[in-house]
Amino acid sequence: PLYANTHTESSGTGLQTTRFREDARTIIHRAVGGNDDDVVIFCGSGATGAIIKLIDIMNLRVPKDLDARFRLTDHIPVEQRPVVFIGPFEHHSNELPWRESVADVVVIDEDENGRPDLKLLEAALTKYASRPLKIGSFSAASNVTGIGAETRAISALLHHHGALACWDFAAAAPYVRIDMNHTDGDTDDYKDAIFLSPHKFIGGPGTPGVLVVKRALLTNRVPTVPGGGTVAYVGPDEHRYIEPSAHREEGGTPAILGSIRAGLVFQLKEAVGTQSIREREESFIRRAIERWEAHPNIRVLGNRKAWRLSIVSFVVRSGERHLHHNFVVALLNDLFGIQARGGCSCAGPYGHRLLGIDVVRSRAYEREILRGSEGIKPGWVR
pLDDT value of residue 185: 65
Q: Provide the CATH topology of domain 12-272.
A: Aspartate Aminotransferase; domain 2 (3.40.640)
pLDDT value of residue 2: 81
pLDDT value of residue 186: 66
Q: End-to-end CA distance of the chain: give it in Å, rounded.
A: 40
pLDDT value of residue 231: 95
* Alpha-carbon torsion (353, 355, 358, 364), positive or negative: negative
The answer to whether the beta carbons of residues 15 and 3 sit under 8 Å apart is no
How many residues are given for the chain? 382
Give the CA distances from residue 367 to residues 37, 189, 322, 342, 360, in Å, rounded to whole numbers and listed in that order: 49, 44, 21, 21, 11
Give the CA distances from residue 82 to residues 21, 46, 218, in Å, rounded to whole numbers and listed in that order: 35, 25, 17
Report mean pLDDT in 10-residue bins for the chain, 382 residues: 86 94 98 97 95 98 95 95 99 98 98 97 99 99 98 98 99 97 81 98 98 98 95 96 95 96 98 97 94 96 93 96 97 97 97 97 97 96 98
CA atoms within 13 A on the CB side of 26: 6
pLDDT value of residue 182: 79
pLDDT value of residue 305: 87
Domain limits, the chain: 12-272, 274-381
Distance CA 89, CA 80 (A): 27
Q: Provide the CATH topology of domain 274-381.
A: Aspartate Aminotransferase, domain 1 (3.90.1150)
pLDDT value of residue 70: 96
